[in-house]
């Protein structure tokens, strides 16, 4: 059979680093091992029942058996505006400032193609979500990496960006609560972000995927709560994490009307919108009680507390994340992020994602997902303890 060659654009896409890790895990499972996977980012709990029931009802409505409007149902965009007003006291125009997305990832990959031309620069966090790189590659743009260092609270330092780079930059990604580090942003940082973006004519894309998951009594703030934020950017929100709707593929972009129009225009050529039943379910999630999201956040906080306490008890000097459902831990001396991850898989059947997969500044760390039960977390720690890697017990505070 004739083999057709991939386009240069596909060949230039970044490698899927975690494919090799997934292959190792699959091989261990197929060999009959009991693997505890803390390397994934896939929520483990079901979607709240009232949202599922709304989908069931909507599926029986013949209206939803037809093509939905290209740019999404008006009732869903109004629900987005209602949600942002209720949760963040942010006024959103549902007609001009909301784009319905096939999950947050779709928007993150699409926006560079909407705003950047070949050769333009995009500012990207390092470590960061690898799909930022994919969107930049598809736009044939280039990246300038912004280091996220622990000593700076995993926030980029804009003063370190050379002015000649800022002058060439069209777009910047930020993400708080942060994947992979679990860091959070405060109002001062967002004020600095608006100032930097305004001065340098850069569009800010705030990936707010973990917006519902903040710990120690602190609710993460929206970038759009910042004065001038809609002038310089937008926010990407997904229902995947807030309401355990990862497999439903529904999210939205909110903010600057000109960027929203560009996203909608690109999607006009790519999609014919999302099944109406899922849009109804999304409306249900956004407009009814927020209690399910709060309960889910509390579950992750309990898991975090167990994880940190148990690891500190075996001598691993770890720092508790402040948000998201990920923890970001330094690997022990003598290991790289990849060698430590491989060692855990091979000798403890415990999976943690190597930090190098999230960028150069992820080296020396592993990302740990809190997406399994407290009992399984305890079991994972006991397996690690038996490896006798850690010797000294630490007494750091869970809440920092």
Query: Which of 3.30.200.20, 3.40.640.10, 3.40.50.150, 3.30.1600.10 would CATH assign to domain 49-287?
Result: 3.40.640.10
DSSP class per residue in 150-177 = GGGTT---GGGS-HHHHHHEEEEEE-SS
CB 123 within 8 A of CB 146: yes
Query: Virtual CA dihedral for 81, 83, 89, 93, nearest 10 degrees?
Result: 0
Q: Measured between alpha carbons, how far is residue 207 from residues 41, 128, 234 in Å?
A: 15, 11, 9
Token pair in block for residue 203:
């569009």
Nearest Cα neighbor of 329 from 313, 353, 349 is 353
Specify the pTM: 0.94
The ranges assigned to domains in the chain are 8-46+292-385, 49-287
Structural class in CATH, domain 8-46+292-385: alpha beta
Rounded CA-CA distance 365/177 in Å is 18
Question: What pLDDT does residue 392 have?
Answer: 52
pLDDT tens string, the chain, 400 residues long: the values are 999 999 999 999 988 777 777 888 889 999 999 999 999 888 899 999 999 999 999 999 999 999 999 999 999 999 999 999 999 999 999 999 999 999 999 999 999 999 999 999 999 999 999 999 999 999 999 999 999 999 999 999 999 999 999 999 999 999 999 999 999 999 999 999 999 999 999 999 999 999 999 999 999 999 999 999 999 999 999 999 999 999 999 999 999 999 999 999 999 999 988 999 999 999 999 999 899 999 999 999 999 999 999 999 999 999 999 999 999 999 999 999 999 999 999 999 999 999 999 999 999 999 999 999 999 999 999 999 999 999 754 444 444 4
| pLDDT of the residue at 398 | 47
Q: Is 122 helix (H, G, I), strand (E, B) or coil?
A: strand
């Amino acid at each position: 059979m004739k083999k057709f060659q991939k386009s240069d654009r596909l060949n230039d896409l970044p490698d899927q680093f975690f494919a090799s890790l997934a292959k190792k895990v699959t091989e261990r499972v197929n060999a009959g091992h009991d693997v505890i996977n803390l390397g994934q980012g896939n929520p483990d709990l079901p979607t709240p029942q009232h949202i599922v029931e709304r989908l069931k009802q909507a599926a029986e409505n013949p209206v939803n058996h037809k093509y939905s409007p290209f740019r999404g149902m008006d009732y869903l965009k109004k629900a987005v505006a209602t949600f942002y007003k209720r949760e963040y006291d942010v006024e959103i125009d549902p007609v001009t400032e909301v784009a319905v997305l096939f999950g947050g990832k779709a928007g993150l990959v699409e926006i560079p193609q909407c705003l950047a031309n070949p050769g333009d620069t995009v500012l990207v966090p390092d470590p960061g979500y690898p799909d930022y790189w994919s969107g930049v590659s598809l736009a044939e743009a280039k990246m300038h990496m912004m280091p996220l260092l622990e000593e700076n609270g995993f926030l980029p330092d804009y003063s370190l960006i050379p002015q000649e780079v800022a002058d060439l930059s069209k777009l910047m990604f930020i993400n708080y609560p942060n994947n992979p580090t679990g860091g959070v942003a405060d109002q001062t940082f967002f004020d600095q972000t608006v100032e930097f973006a305004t001065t340098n004519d850069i569009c800010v894309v705030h990936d707010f995927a973990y917006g519902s998951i903040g710990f120690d009594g602190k609710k993460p703030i929206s970038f759009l709560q910042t004065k001038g934020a809609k002038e310089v950017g937008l926010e990407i929100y997904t229902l995947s994490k807030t309401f355990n709707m990862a497999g439903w593929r529904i999210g939205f972009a909110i903010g600057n009307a000109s960027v929203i129009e560009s996203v909608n225009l690109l999607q006009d050529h790519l999609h014919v919108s999302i099944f109406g039943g899922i849009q109804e379910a999304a409306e249900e999630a956004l407009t009814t009680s927020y209690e399910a999201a709060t309960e889910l956040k509390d579950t992750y906080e309990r898991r975090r507390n167990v994880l940190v306490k148990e690891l500190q008890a075996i001598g691993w000097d770890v720092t508790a994340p402040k948000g998201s459902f990920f923890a970001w831990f330094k690997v022990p001396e003598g290991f790289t992020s990849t060698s430590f991850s491989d060692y855990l898989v091979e000798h403890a059947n415990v999976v943690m994602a190597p930090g190098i997969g999230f960028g150069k500044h992820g080296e020396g760390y592993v990302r740990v997902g809190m997406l399994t039960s407290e009992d399984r977390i305890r079991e994972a720690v006991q397996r690690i303890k038996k490896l006798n890697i850690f010797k000294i017990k630490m007494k750091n505070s869970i809440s920092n």
